[in-house]
Amino acid sequence: MEPFTNDRLQLPRNMIENSMFEEEPDVVDLAKEPCLHPLEPDEVEYEPRGSRLLVRGLGEHEMDEDEEDYESSAKLLGMSFMNRSAGLRNSSAGYRPSAEGACSVPSARTLVVCAFIIVVAVSVIMVIYLLPRCTFTKEGCHKQNQSIGLIQPLATNGKLFPWAQIRLPTAIMPQRYELSLHPNLTSMTFKGSVTILLQARQATWNIILHSTGHNISRVTFMSAVSSQEKQVEILEYPYHDQIAIVAPEALLAGHSYSVKIEYSANISSSYCGFYGLTYRDENNKRKYFAATQFEPLAARSAFPCFDEPAFKATFIIKIIRDEQHTALSNMPKKSSVSMEDGLVQDEFSESVKMSTYLVAFIVGEMRNLSEDVNGTLVSVYTVPEKIGQAHHALETTVKLLEFYENYFEIKYPLKKLDLVAIPDFEAGAMENWGLLTFREETLLYDNTTSSVADRKLVTKIIAHELAHQWFGNLVTMQWWNDLWLNEGFATFMEYFSLEKIFKELYSYEDFLDAQLKTMKKDSLNSSHPISSSVQSSEQIEEMFDSLSYFKGASLLLMLKTFLSEDVFQHAVILYLHNHSYASTQSDDLWDSFNEVTNKTLDVKRMMKTWTLQKGFPLVTVQRKGTELFIQQERFFSGRKPEIYPVDASYLWHIPITYVTDGRNYSEYRAVSLLDKKSDIINLTEQVQWVKVNTNMTGYYIVHYADDDWAALITLLKTNPYVLSDKDRANLINNIFELAGLGKVPLQRAFSLMDYLINENQTAPIAEALFQTGLIYDLLEKLGHMDLASRLVSRVHKLLQSQIQRQAWTDEGTPSARELRSALLEFACTHSLENCTTTAMKLFDDWVASNGTYSLPTDVMTTVFKVGAKTEKGWSFLLSMYISIGSEAEKNKILEALASSEDVRKLYWLMKSSLDGDIIRTQKLSQVIRAVGRHFAGHLLAWDFVKENWNKLVQKFHLGSYTMQSIVAGSTHLFSTKAHLSEVQAFFESQSEATFRLRCVQEALEVIQLNIQWMEKNLKALACCL
Ligand SMILES: [Zn+2]
């Protein structure tokens, strides 16, 4: 899946220390485990198993009759240990020392025994009290008085539910699903039936699977031997979205069975599951459309299934639709049969073996463009009137499909590959096997209104979803704790493939930008290892964050650079070949690398230091003669030792790369591995300067000794192009991050930035604008207008000649065009260099032509923003927003509408996005972020989020990346204690699960850091600006 990119990259600001955030007490911090055991979910005690063992250890043979009854009935029901422990606990009086007055004659032996028993009893109580609270309910800990129900789950009919864990048992494995659906898009309901062919791995009486929101009318069971259908009972346990089918006979290991479930349900009005939407066509006629989004946990709401990624099976899907609609699914259509009332039933071929979250189907009016690629029919589908915007996507897909088939040395296994633009879609895109779904803006390209940034976005997202056809679909992570295996790889391949076949797009600039912002997030205490234990739906949703995507991808880039491109590719091919149609854990990937490196390097040992520890290292270097002294410690966004303790157990295996005046870029791959706290690198000769972490291929920040910083600053000022643009951007980033911490004087960071007067490339200028923009935003919100304008003047002086050089056209390389966008946006935002006059003139021409005048696409947003400042301009933009068909143009208009300084307009925009009629709800998080960024709207955005919190959660789900984006976007520029208390109080007043969300903890940490940054640096700013 691809979270919507515009949101994804705007990660919150954290510049300073934190004085209040402790480690979350129950989050397992693997970094603190010196031996770095990968903690798999199976190893985590989510049931009070400990209590049972302790009790049984004391007196298993003493079990009384009630317990024995319980024990045998539990066995019969196939219950887990947990249920039995509850039974035992209820009758645990038998184990208490008071029973026979055993302590009344206190011999030494008795005292020891009593003491032992008391310790055990206290342990039992603590284990029972502590362990199960937060893991057994979907909603987390806020449900009170449910302890009995939680320990001993009861089905909705009051009977005992025979399974108490969130994860499904593995006694029964699905082999094949036959799913028939009949949706009614106007009544928003559907009827379904699913027949699941099963195989028992172990003897059991129960079939436990997922189902949520279904009215189940009939369930039948059939064993392969008897082939006689029997109606059977079903138990429902909604807390875990589970149902249990109680079989009429014991299921025997190795035997096959089938169950058929008939049900009905509502088509969802949120963005997940099987969901419905309406849109208006070019004649303003209302049209109905239905699509699916199952990742991560919503397949279970469309049909009863074993909804975990490792339960792979094949799928045969049948859909009944209206004649004028098209139905699509993962596989090619096998047959269409006309039925009564103008209905048609489409049947799709049996799928390859795959996970439930990759199943997809779509029903609606669509047209397509197609092309054959080595026997695979590639098609791009859109609503009929937008098919003219599908050419770019088709061309791009054809090139990328060929690239991936060659690179992975595995042919794409299906006969067709559809890419569909959905009129309302929460994510950026989704990689369903053979049926990729996208927002319209991430798939469609309009020649007259799409900018170079839009072109990059569409190309990148197609590359990402196509990479998933191998990473994720063919080889899938076993469980969501290793989501990074899917998303980190797809993100890495997205940029890698663009570098190879669309080199002219300079996509590395975007990667660098995303990597730097991800590190900002990863330096917070609220961060997490990319392989993290997860169980609840919120925890799983929370894994879809920039760490899984960009930290994952950055680590792979670091590994590729370290091992060489060939070795990396060999290992990747081996991994895909070894695990096709199966599921893996991180270790399987590292094993493939180790097979290729053939013991010359233990890749598993090295990479575990990166995937199982949160954060990243700060590498400090000091040059002494021809020696380079290097040492590592964890990089924290704050320095207060009571909050960010120096923890010696953090240690990474870091590939150290560097360039010097005597060692050019072609040699930089000859790296050394820093796998201890400190080391010395012999530079072999005296050098003038050294730049470590060449091209920022390493996931770490570098701090230099004073003289070494001075040498680099001198180099930048005298001969900047000796260093690559990536290295120049990297230096700007590192020095500002270090200055925020007080490790480098702020003055020195500004002094380094002064070289920008000679800079003409995009990456370093973009990074400088980002760093100074954050400082500006905070100063402005705190009312330090004098300092804010001095900051703008300083940056303006550096970029003045570059700004003056820009023409208002779409000419130049993609990189030059993006630079133009950034510079003119900066100039117009701060009314510099006649920028607004030129923009206003272009806007007036555009209005006079009734929106038909062709504006340069790269500066369109800037022109619209200037136009939106007037009442008339804003209204015209809104009327255009409603009437035009290009999503690319609509996005630019929406950005401009949200930049208004009129709070009534801003409030209306947010409210309309939530309503979803004029502005689609898929745009809401983007609108809230845009409103929250500007002075006029930053308080309003937060008020809006508070007021509508319940509606937002209902629509987007707690923990989802959209909610993460909304929370961050509405709070990340607060920098006062009053706001900190206010945000904290609001989330505390919600459920405990809400308050514990990582994005909430992150928001509080960021505000705290903003406050401290200002306290510490305001004076320094006054001096150096
Ligand atoms: Zn993805």
Identify the residue whose tokens are 């014991």. Answer: 250
CA distances from 640 to 323, 479, 525, 903 (A): 67, 36, 12, 39
Query: In angstroms, what is the span from residue 872 Cα to ligand 1's centroid?
Result: 41
How far, in Å, from the CA of 107 to the mean position of ligand 1?
67
Residue 224: its pLDDT value, please? 73
Contact by Cβ (8 Å): 381, 374: no
User: Do residues 839 and 863 touch, judged by C-beta distance below 8 A?
Assistant: yes
Taking alpha carbons only, the member of 93, 133, 16 closest to residue 523 is 16
CA distance 515 to 547: 9
Q: Is 16 helix (H, G, I), strand (E, B) or coil?
A: coil
Query: Rounded to a whole number, what is the distance in angstroms from the first to the last CA of the chain?
Result: 44
Cβ atoms of 868 and 860 within 8 Å: the answer is no
Residue 662 confidence (pLDDT)? 74
Could you tell me the distance, in angstroms and rounded to a whole number, from the CA of residue 348 to the centre of ligand 1? 25
Tokens at 718, concatenated = 């005298």
Distance 170 CA to ligand 1 centre (A): 27
CA distance 840 to 862: 10
Token representation of residue 110: 């008795």
How far apart CA 865 and CA 847 sit, in angstroms, is: 13
Question: Sign of dihedral through CA atoms 486, 489, 495, 501?
Answer: negative
Q: Is residue 503 classed as helix, strand or coil in its secondary structure? A: helix
Partners of 338 in the beta sheet? 344
Q: CA angle, corner 470, sides to 465 and 476, nearest 5? A: 100
List C-alpha distances in Å: 284 to 281, 287, 686, 888, 894. 5, 9, 73, 20, 20
State both tokens at 404. Answer: 């991936």
Helix (H, G, I), strand (E, B) or coil at 137: coil
Q: According to the model, what pLDDT value does residue 1025 have?
A: 83
- Ranges of the chain whose pLDDT falls below 70: 4-151, 640-645, 667-670
* Helix ranges restricted to H, 653-784: 706-718, 725-741, 746-753, 762-781
- Residues 6 or more apart in contact with residue 614 via CB below 8 angstroms: 29, 31, 522, 527, 528, 529
| Cis? peptide before 296, omega within 30° of 0 | yes
Total count of residues recorded for the chain: 1025
**Number of Cα atoms under 13 Å in the Cβ half of residue 797:** 10
Dihedral in degrees, nearest 10, Cα atoms 77, 82, 85, 89: -110
Q: What pTM value is reported for the model?
A: 0.86
CA of 619 from ligand 1 middle (Å) equals 31
d(CA 309, CA 921): 29
Q: Is residue 590 a contact partner of residue 610, using CB atoms and an 8 Å limit? A: no
- Tokens (6 digits) for 301: 């709401």
- The structure tokens listed for 968 are 């961050």
Say which amino acid occupies 400: L
Q: Which two structure tokens, joined as six digits, stand for 634?
A: 């964890």
Q: How far is the CA of 429 from the centre of ligand 1 (A)?
A: 8
Q: Which residues pair with 276 in a beta bridge?
A: 290
Which residues have a beta carbon within 5 Å of ligand 1, which is an ion? 1-2, 487, 490
Whole-number Å distance between alpha carbons of 891 and 926:
10
Cβ distance 233 to 283 under 8 Å? Answer: no
CA of 589 to the centre of ligand 1 (A): 18
The alpha carbon of 430 and the centre of ligand 1 are apart by a number of angstroms equal to 7
Residue 465: per-residue pLDDT = 98
C-alpha of residue 295 to centroid of ligand 1, in Å: 10
The pair of three-digit structure tokens given for residue 388, joined into one six-digit string: 């003219």
Distance of CA 748 to the CA centre of its chain: 35
Q: How far does the centroid of ligand 1 lie from the alpha carbon of residue 997, in Å?
A: 22
For residue 546, report the distance from its CA to the centre of ligand 1, in Å: 11
441 noted as active-site residue: no
Closest to 281 (Cα-Cα) out of 369, 387, 191: 387
Other CB atoms within 10 Å distance of the CB of residue 355: 23
* Ligand 1 centroid to residue 293 C-alpha, Å: 13
**Is residue 236 exposed (0-12), middle (13-18) or buried (19+ Cβ within 10 Å)?**
middle
Alpha helix stretches (DSSP H) within 20-167: 49-59, 65-77, 81-90, 108-130, 147-151
Ligand 1 centre from 604 Cα, in Å?
Answer: 24
Å from CA of 489 to ligand 1 middle:
9
Catalytic residue among 178, 441, 465, 780: 465
Amino acid letter, residue 525: N
Cβ-based burial of 638 (10 A; exposed 0-12, middle 13-18, buried ≥19): buried
Beta-strand pair 256-266/215-223: antiparallel
* Rounded distance from Cα 331 to ligand 1 centre (Å): 20
User: Residue 360 phi/psi, 5° resolution?
Assistant: -155, 150
| Residue 475 alpha carbon to ligand 1 centre in Å | 13
Sort 709 into a burial class: Cβ within 10 Å, 0-12 / 13-18 / 19+: buried
Strand runs (DSSP E) across 18-57, as ranges? none
CA of 464 to the centre of ligand 1 (A): 6
CA of 817 to the centre of ligand 1 (A): 27
HEC per residue, 796-817: HHHHHHHHHHCCCCCCCCHHHH
Residue indicated by tokens 């794409």? 412
Angle between helices 835-848 and 860-867 (to 10 degrees): 90
Helix 924-933 with 903-915: angle, nearest 10 deg:
160
Distance CA 285, CA 421 (A): 19
Render pLDDT for 381-393 as a digit per residue (tens, 0 to 9).
999 999 999 999 9
Q: Are the C-beta atoms of 522 and 547 separated by less than 8 Å? A: yes
Residue 351 token pair:
């799928």
Residue that the structure tokens 């589970």 belong to? 242
Closest to 1006 (Cα-Cα) out of 676, 525, 649: 525
Radius of gyration of the chain (CA): 30
Is residue 552 within 8 Å of residue 492, measured between CB atoms? yes
